[in-house]
Chain A
Amino acid sequence: MVRMTLVKKNPGIVSILLLTFFLFHSFDVWADELRVAVASNFLLPVKELSRKFEETTTNRVALISASTGKLYAQIKQGAPFDILLAADSLRPKLLEKEGIGVPGSRFTYAVGRLALWSADNTLFLRNDLQVLNQKNFRYLAIANPKTAPYGKAAEQVLRKKGFWDQLQTRLVRGENISQTFQFLVTGNADIGFIALSQLKRNQGQLKGYSWVVPAEWHNPIRQQAILLKRAKTNKAAKEFLNFIKSNRVQKIIESYGYSLEHL
């Protein structure tokens, strides 16, 4: 009886309660999904891969993308992710050591390649870094070396070839490799170090000139995957990792502009 009175007197409150219930209910449904946290440089490939994965199973994949550093901090604070596809090997190693990642589940799913790109064809004279000696560009964009593995690799290249100090005033740092790319595409920076995979996936739309930096000029950008503790017994998560590891999928990853460690 009391409930009836509530409904009659406060239809508004009741509908809000019902709405809340349905909202939370749908959140519960999402919780059954496989949650994959992915470094921003790998978001596009993994979108295609998870579509392919979903074709073979009833499991749904939800992708959460941010920089590796941010994802790591979120996972440490209890973020409900099942798998991390990082842009480096450092954070997965740390997670394994800290007991947040499942020991032995860590593997390199892709090796990142660095490319120098400019929308301005006239900047490049030769296939090397000599372009950086020119005075006719204002900004060189890199990802922030402190937070982004591709930025760290770019710093290593610039240091190794003696450009780091002389270019300090012309360096702009993107928060991650996607923002670095965005600086270049919008023309705000003239030239920059980005991931080769970003160029590959935008082939055809991009004008300009690019050059792939020799792999031995920087430490390898080993992008590692790790299964997270909360998904230790999650069958779908293990299936997804095996799927990524499979030769077929590794070939696809290679076609996106990554090198492979195992094949």
Chain B
Amino acid sequence: MDISSSGPIWLTLQLASVTVMILLAIGTPIAWWLAHTRSKMRVGIEAVVALPLVLPPTVLGFYLLILLGPNGWIGGPLKTLTGSPLSFTFTGLVFASTLYSLPFVVQPLQSNFESIGSTPMETAASLGASRWDAFFSVILPLSRRGYLTATVLGFAHTLGEFGVVLMVGGNIPGKTKVISIEIYDRVEVLEYTQAHILSAGLLLFSFIILLTVYSINKKLPVHIS
């Protein structure tokens, strides 16, 4: 994945969008499984999913730097396959952000699925709907609230990512130089005006999307079985 050179703002939005799409795709089955399983593995998986919440980004960044590099378990095989490891690439950042923002997508979806319960699926099944059909035509419409929260939190959290990107990104304009890194650089070289503009912009933008999601959430119905 090669994104042509563009400003850090555009790059950050791209990173957050791609990350959220991937997270919704992999977060849905994980959250569904966590919400319905009786397996003993459940608590273990739940703990793993929540790890990025408590770990300092430097821990994740350090492991990723080693894993994604040309000698790493992930970067090594990829280098032989594609000629390039994952560190210092946009794809590498997407990988890192996906891990970093995982709990922000899985947890809202999981509590959403838990609140829906198993009754709607069972009802749909008794009416002859296949599992997939039941999920897409019954569960998804009931889950608008959960998906909205998951999308917004995942997106916003990726926007605010800093430590991990600093460690595995390499500060390449147009590829890995996201807004938070740009702000950091500007502060460092005392260009406070530009730092202010970017910081205030990010603050306002984050506030507006959170405000939007909370006000929409208030209007959407809650489903409790």
Contact = CB atoms under 8 A, between A and B. Distances in A.
B172 interface: yes
B65 interface: yes
Nearest to B184: A175
Contacts of B167: 179
Contacts of B170: 139, 141, 172-174, 183, 188-189
Contacts of B66: 186
B172 A188 contact: no
Contacts of A173: 170-172
B70 A147 contact: no
A65 B1 CA distance: 37
A120 to B, nearest CB: 10
A73 B70 CA distance: 36
A139 B188 contact: no
Nearest to B69: A188
Contacts of B188: 67, 69-70, 73, 146-147
Interface string A166-195: 000001111100010011001111000000
A187 B84 contact: no
A69 B85 CA distance: 31
A141 B65 CA distance: 14
B189 A147 contact: yes
Given A146-B188, A188-B87, A172 B172 contact: yes
Nearest to B76: A187
A224 B87 CA distance: 35
Contacts of B184: 175
A138 B65 contact: no
Contacts of B190: 69, 72-73
Given A172-B172, A186-B66, A187-B71, A147 B85 contact: no
A175 B172 CA distance: 11
Contacts of B122: none
A121 B66 CA distance: 21
Contacts of B189: 69, 146-147
A42 to B, nearest CB: 18
Given A144-B185, A146-B185, A187-B69, A175 B88 contact: no
Contacts of B187: 73
A185 B144 CA distance: 47
Contacts of A139: 88, 170
A173 B171 CA distance: 5
Contacts of A188: 65, 68-70, 75, 85, 87-88, 170
A160 B116 CA distance: 66
Contacts of A182: 65
Contact of A144 (B68, B84, B171): B171
Determine which residue in B65, B84, B85, B88 has the highest number of CB atoms from chain A within 10 A of its CB, and name it. Answer: B88
A245 B29 CA distance: 65
Contacts of A174: 170-171
A175 B71 contact: no
B171 A187 contact: no
Contacts of A72: 190
Interface in B126-162: none
A138 B166 contact: no
Determine which residue in B69, B84, B87, B184 has the highest number of CB atoms from chain A within 10 A of its CB, and name it. Answer: B87
B166 A175 contact: yes
Contacts of A186: 65-66, 69, 71
Interface in B62-104: 65-66, 68-71, 75, 84-85, 87-88
A186 B62 CA distance: 10
Contacts of B166: 175
26 contacts: A69-B188, A70-B188, A72-B190, A73-B187, A73-B188, A139-B88, A141-B170, A144-B171, A146-B189, A147-B188, A172-B172, A173-B170, A173-B172, A174-B170, A174-B171, A175-B166, A175-B184, A186-B66, A186-B71, A187-B69, A187-B71, A188-B65, A188-B69, A188-B70, A188-B87, A189-B88
Interface of B: 65-66, 68-71, 75, 84-85, 87-88, 166-167, 170-172, 184-185, 187-190
Instruction: Give the 9 A-B CB pairs with smallest separation, nearest first.
Output: A172-B170, A69-B188, A173-B171, A188-B69, A188-B87, A147-B188, A187-B71, A172-B88, A187-B69
